[in-house]
Structure formats: structure tokens, C-alpha cells
């Protein structure tokens, strides 16, 4: 009776409201039922309690604060509260320019975060150095030279809606259950 989850489920994962609660016994036409894997339940839980690290190095930080505050309010999607300690944070939003002097600090913060940890590069500076790409001795040309990045948000700075979209994209990515390495190898 019934079938456990198989690879087909990866192509149609339980995303926000489309597939129902993972782990829930779902009836399928023909009288069978579908059971989710424990991994899916864990990923569902993780994706809905991502606490960001308070980390803003320039003007993108203002937009990030706007997303955190009442009008946009990322707590609605489970980002709840920005933590001032990397040990309590799950996601680091790189909101701003990273200079060579800041590089080791960013690396250390990332290393101090507990697994699983995720990184969003917000804005032109965090993606490529942005307006400081040319003729500067001090700016890192993209935060992914220092730590691996999961989601990139374009903009200078991005609108709060864009960051919300990035956060929700990250949730989708986690719910799909693929690691960064699996995605890169084209799985």
C-alpha cells in the first residue's frame, strides 16, 4: 500500500502551500498515500526559522532594516529577528561593500555560525564590488571571493521587495533540499 517518496518528489517539492505540509499523509488519486522523508520535514522547519545576522556594511543595510521593520516585515516569512551574535544566526545578509580590511572579519563571522548556514549577497557591492570595481585599492570585488554565496540580489541598493524575494528564494532552495555542491554539479 502506498509509496514512499522518490526522486520525482525533488522535481515537485512541497513549496509554500503548493504541496501541503511535508510529513503529512497525503492521499493521491487511486487510493495510495505519500509519505515525506524526514529530511523534507527538517528542511521545511529550517527554511521557516532563518534568523539573519545583524551585518550591514553600507547603504544596503538601510534597505535591510526597512525589510525588518513594520512595513515589509520579514518576520512574516520566518526571518523573525536579526541576531547580533553569529552563533545564533542562520543566514548572513551581506548588505554592503566589503573592503580588504573587512574580509577577514566576514570570514570569521561566517566560520562562527553554526551549520546549516546560508549567505545572501545583497546589492552590487556584495556581488562584484559594484561602483567600487574600478580604480580602488581597498574593495573586495565580490563577497564570494571570501565566503560562498547562496542567493544574489541585484540593485544599488535593491528595493525591500527584492530582498524579500531573495529571502523567499532562499527558503525555496532549502526546501528543495539540495546542498550548494549538489546544485553546482547540476544534480
Note the residues at the interface with other proteins (CB under 8 A): 100-101, 133-138, 141
Shortest Cβ 134–other proteins spacing (Å): 4
For residues 34 and 112, what is the distance between their CA atoms, to the nearest angstrom? Answer: 39
Specify the residue, 14 or 130, whose C-beta has the smaller distance to other proteins.
130
Shortest Cβ 127–other proteins spacing (Å): 15
Shortest Cβ 128–other proteins spacing (Å): 10
Specify the residue, 3 or 136, whose C-beta has the smaller distance to other proteins.
136
Specify the residue, 18 or 135, whose C-beta has the smaller distance to other proteins.
135
Count, residues in the chain: 187
**Residues 6 or more apart from 179 whose CB is under 8 A from it?**
none
State phi, psi for 168 to the nearest 5 degrees.
Answer: -70, -35
**Whether the Cβ atoms of residue 155 and residue 120 lie closer than 8 Å to each other:** no
Specify the residue, 12 or 135, whose C-beta has the smaller distance to other proteins.
135
Shortest Cβ 154–other proteins spacing (Å): 20
Specify the residue, 21 or 133, whose C-beta has the smaller distance to other proteins.
133
Shortest Cβ 133–other proteins spacing (Å): 6
Amino acid at each position: 500500500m502506498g509509496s514512499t517518496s522518490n526522486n520525482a518528489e525533488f522535481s515537485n517539492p512541497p513549496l509554500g502551500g503548493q504541496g501541503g505540509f511535508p510529513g503529512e499523509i497525503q492521499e493521491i488519486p487511486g487510493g495510495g498515500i505519500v509519505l515525506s522523508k524526514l529530511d523534507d520535514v527538517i528542511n521545511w522547519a529550517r527554511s521557516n526559522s532563518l534568523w539573519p545576522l545583524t551585518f550591514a556594511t553600507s547603504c544596503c543595510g538601510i534597505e535591510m532594516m526597512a525589510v525588518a521593520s513594520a512595513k515589509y516585515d520579514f518576520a512574516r516569512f520566518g526571518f523573525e529577528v536579526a541576531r547580533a551574535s553569529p552563533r545564533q544566526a542562520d543566514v548572513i545578509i551581506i548588505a554592503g561593500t566589503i573592503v580588504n580590511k573587512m574580509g577577514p572579519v566576514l570570514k570569521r563571522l561566517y566560520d562562527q555560525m553554526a551549520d546549516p548556514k546560508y549567505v545572501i549577497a545583497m546589492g552590487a557591492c556584495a556581488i562584484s564590488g559594484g561602483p567600487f570595481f574600478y580604480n580602488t585599492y581597498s574593495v573586495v570585488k565580490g563577497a564570494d571571493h571570501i565566503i560562498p554565496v547562496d542567493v544574489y540580489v541585484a540593485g544599488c541598493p535593491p528595493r525591500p521587495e527584492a530582498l524579500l524575494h531573495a529571502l523567499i528564494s532562499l527558503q525555496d532552495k532549502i526546501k528543495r533540499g539540495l546542498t550548494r555542491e549538489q546544485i553546482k554539479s547540476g544534480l
